[in-house]
């Protein structure tokens, strides 16, 4: 009996060794999954951040007048700078030169020193990349940046002969029309869409022409004083010269009030019921009077002036001159307002119909007392809420889209 029991103990001890070995392999496998998969997820996020930034950088470059070649270079510069940041040592975006794998105007392919492939592609819609047929520079251009098969170091997984890699992609471009903004200029323009509905007009104002958008005679209250009745900003109401009172700037024409808002200074503070955000269908208060208060503020957008952001140093009267400047201070976003009901001569609200982009064309003359500007069809704003419907006019922002090819976003 003792001999039989001893044999059973010997067999059981062998089984324990087998079970322990199997358990150890399972534990090692789970450890490998925990360590290597977490490592892969972390680097996937890093690569995704890189392509997001690169796509936005290329789209901003296109917005500022760059060619697709220059925009692709901007994307690569951005992703390389991201890879050189602290904590991103493992990322391999050390590329040089471009080898086009398609039309040189819409598809660029880069290969890193360790074989990572980066695509920078362009299209006229945010779904199909690269563009099918000719890429039209007359239409909106969207950017796709994709990193294919970025190899990563394997830790415990290499014991099982498994290697790791991640991929990521991003699409960026113009949004639909903005329906709410916070960075408004305090100038109200009457909606004349029903008067001039043509495609060359923005809310009834012809593009490419200089208009009187605010000031003493901009509303053309006295027809005998109007240089051209069609080139004024409309009549908001008695005592008003198309200036507005924005939230966070207080009353009056001081630096904390109208001057600060006209010059592009940030608001000094909001009341409890104020947000500083203006939206289509909402109201904005009017500011009565004209005077010389706007002079310093408006002119600060052309030349550097103490108390205001840096000016554009008067690059010229044309829109392309503004693209060649560095601060874009002469570009402003203004609300288009409903002037069908004349307001009294006090600070009364008017309803916002939409938003328009204007390039300031002249410095403010204290004798003339008029703010001059040119309407153009679209401008980029850094923030704001967008609607669902694409539009050919008004402000928009550069944003990321879901890549419909891969599902990345």
CA distances from residue 280 to 174, 277, 334, 337 in whole angstroms, order as listed: 19, 10, 12, 9
3-state per-residue secondary structure call for 348-371: CEEEEEEEEEEEECCCCCCCCCEE
Cα separations (Å) of 218 from 11, 171, 299, 374? 103, 43, 18, 13
Percentages helix, strand, coil for the chain, rounded to the nearest 5? Answer: 25, 25, 50
What string of DSSP letters covers 277-313? Answer: -EETT-EEEEEE--SSTHHHHHHTTTS--TTS-----
The pLDDT-based confidence of 71 (bands split at 50, 70, 90) is very high
Domain boundaries of the chain, sorted by first residue: 24-175, 178-219+232-393
Mean of per-residue pLDDT scores for the chain: 79
pLDDT digits (tens, 9 = 90+) for 378-399: 888 877 788 776 677 788 888 8
Q: What are the pLDDT digits (tens) for 296-308? A: 899 999 888 888 8
Q: Count CA atoms closer than 13 A to 129's CA, side-chain side.
A: 26
pLDDT at 79: 85
In sequence order, which ranges of 214-269 are alpha helices (DSSP H)? 258-263
pLDDT beyond 90 at 322: no
Q: Is 188 left (phi over 0), alpha (psi -120 to 50) or beta?
A: beta
Pairwise pLDDT comparison (87 vs 131), residue with the higher score: 131
* 40 or 189, higher pLDDT: 189
pLDDT at residue 377, rounded to an integer: 83
Distance CA 103, CA 99 (A): 11
| pLDDT, tens digit, 9 for 90 and up, residues 1-48 | 555 555 555 555 566 666 666 766 666 666 656 666 776 777 788 888
SS3 383: coil
DSSP code per residue over 115-164: S-EEEEEEESSSSSSS-SSPPPTTS--EEEEEEEEEEE--SGGGGGT--E
pLDDT at 221 over 60: no
Mean pLDDT over residues 229-241, rounded? Answer: 76
Provide the token pair at 188. 């109200």
């Amino acid at each position: 009996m003792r001999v039989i029991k001893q044999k059973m103990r010997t067999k059981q001890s062998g089984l324990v060794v087998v079970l322990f070995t199997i358990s150890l392999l399972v534990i090692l496998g789970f450890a490998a999954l925990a360590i290597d998969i977490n490592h892969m997820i972390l680097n996937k996020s890093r690569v995704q951040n890189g392509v997001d930034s690169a796509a936005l950088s290329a789209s901003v470059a296109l917005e500022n007048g760059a060619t697709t070649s220059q925009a692709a270079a901007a994307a690569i510069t951005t992703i390389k700078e991201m890879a050189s940041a602290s904590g991103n040592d493992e990322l391999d975006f050390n590329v040089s030169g471009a080898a086009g794998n398609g039309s040189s105007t819409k598809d660029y392919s880069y290969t890193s020193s360790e074989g990572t492939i980066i695509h920078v592609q362009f299209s006229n819609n945010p779904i199909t990349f690269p563009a099918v047929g000719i890429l039209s520079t007359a239409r909106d251009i969207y950017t796709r940046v994709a990193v294919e098969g970025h190899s990563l170091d394997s830790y415990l997984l290499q014991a099982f002969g498994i290697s790791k890699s991640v991929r990521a992609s991003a699409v960026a471009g113009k949004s639909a029309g903005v329906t709410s903004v916070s960075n408004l200029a305090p100038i109200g323009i009457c909606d004349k869409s029903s008067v001039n509905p043509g495609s060359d007009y923005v809310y009834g104002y012809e593009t490419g022409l200089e208009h009187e958008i605010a000031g003493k005679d901009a509303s053309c209250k006295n027809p005998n004083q109007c240089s051209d009745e069609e080139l004024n900003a409309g009549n908001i109401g008695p005592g008003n010269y198309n200036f507005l009172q924005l939230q966070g700037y207080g009353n009056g024409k001081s630096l904390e009030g109208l001057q600060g808002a006209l010059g592009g200074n940030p608001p000094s503070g909001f009341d409890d019921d104020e947000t500083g955000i203006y939206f289509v269908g909402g109201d904005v208060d009017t500011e009565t009077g004209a005077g010389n208060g706007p002079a310093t503020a408006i002119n600060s957008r052309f030349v550097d002036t103490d108390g205001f952001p840096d000016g554009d140093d008067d690059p010229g009267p044309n829109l392309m001159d503004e693209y060649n400047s560095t601060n874009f201070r002469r570009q402003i976003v203004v609300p288009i307002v409903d002037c069908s009901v004349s307001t009294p001569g006090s600070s009364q609200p008017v309803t916002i119909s939409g938003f328009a982009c204007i390039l300031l064309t002249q410095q403010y003359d204290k004798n003339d007392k008029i703010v001059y500007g040119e309407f153009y069809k679209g401008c980029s704003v850094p923030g704001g809420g967008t609607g669902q419907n694409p539009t050919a006019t008004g402000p928009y922002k550069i944003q990321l889209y879901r890549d419909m090819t891969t599902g990345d976003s």
